[in-house]
């Protein structure tokens, strides 16, 4: 296990070094993505101004929500950016090289690529959570909760992403299907959490766990709710185990297209 992790870290380091070679593009991607993300804060803050406070959610909570989601997205798609390329790997036949690798396939695929813009998300997310902490005068317990929840939410985000991208093995040209499914998961995680009530809230917590990434963590930090924390922790384990099982089963459907694809 330690060897696998060591290899994953080595692959991530090499990916970052490779991306940073194109310095201007690398920096523009990071800055561009950070600016891009501000759009969601602007939208939801004006939403609150227009319709008033809903479900107890203030502008500060929106900043917290964007922070959690951006960090999850940034961590997963920068350091484990290879998972996003799974439809390409499968359709082009370049997945062969992962099958032949003696390393863990999921880890090898995930760390096969690095997305510089993910760092922009990460930076943006960290800044958002810092601002959130300051605005809510966070106590030490709340700061620790934020750190713990970032870890749990990232694992959920990664696991759900793995499940969605595993669909790539089931269709010939799965890129569009995967995009559609991923949008179904990601979009609600960026929406105003206070407006999710009743059945809609239950659906996006237990069926498509979009709210477990940002909305529920914000509410846990705000209310210091240990009950909700337990729910998130349990679902983190369930989704992680489920994603590994689904990925391994999906890989069995892979058929090599016998294209000559080496390295990368």
Partner 1 sequence: MQYPARLFADTATIVARCGVLLLLYAYVFSLNDGTIKGTTFAMVAWSMFFYFSFITLSSSRISRAIMQDITSGQIEVLLSKPITYLSYRAWWQIGAGVYPFIVTTILGAVTLAMTVGIPQTMKIPLFLPTLLVTFIGAIIVTLFIYTIVGLLSFWIEDVLPIFWIVDKAVMILGGSYLPVALFPDFMYKIALYSPFGASVFVTHTVYESWTTIWYKLISIQLFWIVVLGGIIYFMFSRAVKNVSVNGG
Query: Residue 226 Cβ, how far from partner 1 at the closest point, in Å?
Result: 28
What does the CA dihedral 163, 159, 2, 74 come to, rounded to 10 degrees? 120
92 counts as binding partner 1 under rule CB under 8 A: no
Between residues 167 and 229, which has the closer beta carbon with respect to partner 1?
Answer: 167
Tell me which of 117, 154, 161, 168 binds partner 1, using CB under 8 A: 117
Between residues 54 and 130, which has the closer beta carbon with respect to partner 1?
Answer: 54
Cβ(30)–Cβ(123) below 8 Å: yes
Helix axes 116-135, 23-51, angle to 10 degrees: 40
206 counts as binding partner 1 under rule CB under 8 A: no
- Closest CA relative to residue 228, chosen from 240, 214, 215, 216: 216
Per-residue burial over 179-191, b = 16 or more CB atoms within 10 Å of its CB, e = otherwise: eebbeebbebbbb
134 counts as binding partner 1 under rule CB under 8 A: no
142-181 footprint of partner 1 as x/- string (CB under 8 A): -----------------------------x-xxxxx-xxx
44 counts as binding partner 1 under rule CB under 8 A: yes
Query: Residue 148 Cβ, how far from partner 1 at the closest point, in Å?
Result: 28
Q: For residue 64, how many other CB atoms are within 10 A of its CB?
A: 29
Between residues 29 and 159, which has the closer beta carbon with respect to partner 1?
Answer: 29
258 counts as binding partner 1 under rule CB under 8 A: no
Rounded distance, CA 72 to CA 105, Å?
A: 22
DSSP state of 105: H
Rounded distance, CA 27 to CA 146, Å?
A: 28
43 counts as binding partner 1 under rule CB under 8 A: yes
Positions touching partner 1 (CB under 8 A) are: 22, 24-25, 28-29, 31-33, 35-36, 38-40, 42-44, 46-47, 49-52, 54, 117, 171, 173-177, 179-181, 183-184, 187-188, 191-192, 195-197, 200
């Amino acid at each position: 296990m330690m060897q696998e992790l060591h290899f994953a870290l080595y692959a991530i380091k090499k990916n970052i070094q490779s991306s940073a070679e194109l310095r201007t593009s690398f920096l523009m991607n990071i800055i561009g993505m950070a600016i891009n993300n501000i759009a969601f804060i602007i939208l939801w803050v004006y939403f609150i101004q227009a319709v008033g406070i809903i479900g107890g959610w203030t502008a500060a909570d929106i900043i917290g929500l964007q922070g959690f989601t951006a960090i999850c997205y940034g961590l997963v798609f920068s350091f484990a950016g290879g998972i996003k390329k799974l439809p390409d790997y499968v359709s082009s036949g370049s997945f062969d090289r992962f099958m032949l690798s003696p390393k863990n396939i999921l880890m090898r695929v995930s760390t096969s690529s690095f997305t510089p813009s993910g760092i922009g998300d990460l930076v943006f997310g960290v800044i958002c959570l810092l601002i959130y902490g300051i605005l809510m005068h966070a106590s030490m317990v709340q700061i620790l909760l934020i750190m713990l929840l970032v870890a749990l939410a990232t694992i959920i985000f990664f696991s759900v992403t793995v499940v969605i991208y595993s669909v790539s093995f089931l269709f010939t040209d799965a890129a569009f299907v995967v995009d559609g499914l991923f949008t179904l998961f990601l979009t609600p995680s960026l929406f105003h959490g206070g407006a999710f009530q009743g059945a809609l809230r239950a659906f996006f917590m237990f069926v498509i766990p979009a709210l477990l990434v940002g909305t529920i963590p914000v509410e846990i930090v705000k209310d210091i709710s240990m009950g909700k924390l337990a729910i998130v922790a349990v679902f983190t384990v369930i989704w992680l185990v489920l994603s590994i099982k689904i990925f391994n089963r999906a890989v069995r459907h892979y058929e090599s297209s016998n294209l000559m694809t080496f390295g990368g």
